Amino acid sequence: MDKETLNYWKTVITFLHDVLGDNYEIILHVIDKNDIYIGELVNSHISGRSKNSPLTKFALDLITQKVYQEKDFVTNYKAIVSPLHKEVRGSTFFIKDKEGNLEGMLCINLDISAYQGVASDLLKLANLNLGQLIPTAPETTSTVALQEEPVEILTSNIQDIISEILDPSLLRHNVHLSQEVKIDIVTKLSEKGVFQLKGAVSKVADILCISEPSVYRYLKKIESD
């Protein structure tokens, strides 16, 4: 994304913030060839993230699965703020160049806690709760699909992203990992685009108890294979 395009989207975000107010977190993820970073962020109090925070696994999956080739945006998906377990609703707009290559993502997260509070207070006036108003129906294919709705985890910690991808048992420091397993781990993280995130090599080296040059050697081996 060139500077002119970046400044354009920053202006759009300023406009959206003035229109929507403080209940919406708005993030511009800039996608360069070897780097993904946050170019603009407003209302960060909603997720607790900063401009140095990593891309989420959910967003990485959108990129690696090339969802942007089929859609211009995805809307109204569930997101959880870690570690507060606060639910927000997210939407992502794909920013593409004239050839359809992905240059960035504009993400908007709505903090629904205030609305949940208002709804709860209204129901209390009638001595009701939300569960009483939703009928219980037999489980069907459609209800199962709803239960399997993708959930984005909003975090400022890159290790949380890695933990979503890998088997947690592999991340324990008392577990001995062979070189083959370490290469498999690096391969999986590379396929998910983790190494495009700032600080990923250092964090993976720490988790695997190896040096950063070793991580780069594994990546070079993976590329050559």
Q: Using alpha carbons only, what angle is made at residue 104 by residues 205 and 90, rounded to the nearest 5 degrees? A: 90
Of the given ranges (24-28, 85-89, 174-178, 182-186), which has the lowest mean pLDDT?
A: 174-178
Of the given ranges (9-18, 58-67, 171-180), which has the lowest mean pLDDT?
A: 171-180
Fold designation for 3-115+147-153: Beta-Lactamase (3.30.450)
> What pLDDT sits at residue 146?
37
Contact 187, 82 (CB under 8 A): no
Which of the two residues, 144 and 180, has the higher pLDDT score?
180
Question: What are the domain boundaries of the chain?
Answer: 3-115+147-153, 157-224
pLDDT, tens digit, 9 for 90 and up, residues 29-48:
999 877 889 999 999 999 88
> What pLDDT sits at residue 113?
79
pTM higher than 0.85: no
Hey, what amino acid is at 131?
G
Q: Both tokens of residue 71?
A: 């859609």
Q: Check residue 192 and report its DSSP letter.
A: T
Q: Both tokens of residue 170?
A: 């592999």
Contact 73, 59 (CB under 8 A): no
Hey, what amino acid is at 19?
V
Of the given ranges (28-32, 43-47, 74-78, 129-133), which has the lowest mean pLDDT?
A: 129-133
3-state SS, residue 209:
coil
pLDDT, tens digit, 9 for 90 and up, residues 164-208:
788 777 777 667 888 888 899 899 888 878 887 778 888 888 888
> What pLDDT sits at residue 222?
86
